[in-house]
Amino acid sequence: MKVISTATNVAQAFKNAGRVTEIARVLVKHGFIDLLHRMNLTKFLKDKEEANPLYAGLSIPERLRLSFEELGPTFVKLGQLLATRSDLIPEAYVEEFSKLQDDVATIPFEEIRSFLETELKSPIDHVFSEFETTPKAAASIAQVHFAILKSGEK
């Protein structure tokens, strides 16, 4: 049993290192390499990563919000929580993180299709008679698409 436990721990460590690497890359992309240096996290960067010049003209709160959006639901939820804490963070951050409450980027339909077809183990058109590719709403952990099953149920 100890071998299985050790293997599980090693697998989890690799998974965690992969996520830290992903977080580090996103932060560098949005111009936060100095933060990674201060946190001694540059060792997780494989290549010479550089900030994307498209973000150079944006404020720190804007770049941080965009980082949170790119990093996914957990970070979006963190931003939403921080948006409610004007007693803890500057107003510029509160305003920017408030955009995570009701202005979350949508996931491209091809990613939605791929996920659904994997979960359903069938092409979308075998399950649905209609499926709107444009989302009606998006939030930190969900995206809503209108659809009608082959049975006619909405």
**Confidence check: pLDDT of 110 > 80:** yes
What three-state secondary structure class fits 44? helix
pLDDT at 5 over 70: no
Residues 6+ apart with CB under 8 A from 78: 68
CA 94 and chain centroid, separation: 19
Check: CB of residue 147 under 8 Å from CB of residue 154. yes
74-88 pLDDT, tens digit per residue, is 999 999 999 999 999
More confident residue, 102 or 35: 35
Given this model, what pLDDT does residue 8 score?
Answer: 62
Is the predicted pLDDT of residue 94 greater than 60, yes or no? yes
- Mean pLDDT (the chain) is 86
Q: Locate 31 and state its tokens.
A: 């111009």
Whether 14 shows a pLDDT value over 80: the answer reads no
Q: How confident is the model at residue 117 (pLDDT cuts 50, 70, 90)?
A: very high
Only one residue has tokens 């936060």, namely: 32
Q: Greater confidence, 12 or 79?
A: 79
* Contact between residue 5 and residue 40 where contact means Cβ atoms under 8 Å apart: no
Q: Is the pLDDT of residue 39 over 80?
A: yes
Per-residue confidence (pLDDT) for residue 128, from 0 to 100? 95
Going 57 to 73 to 111 to 24, the CA torsion angle's sign is positive
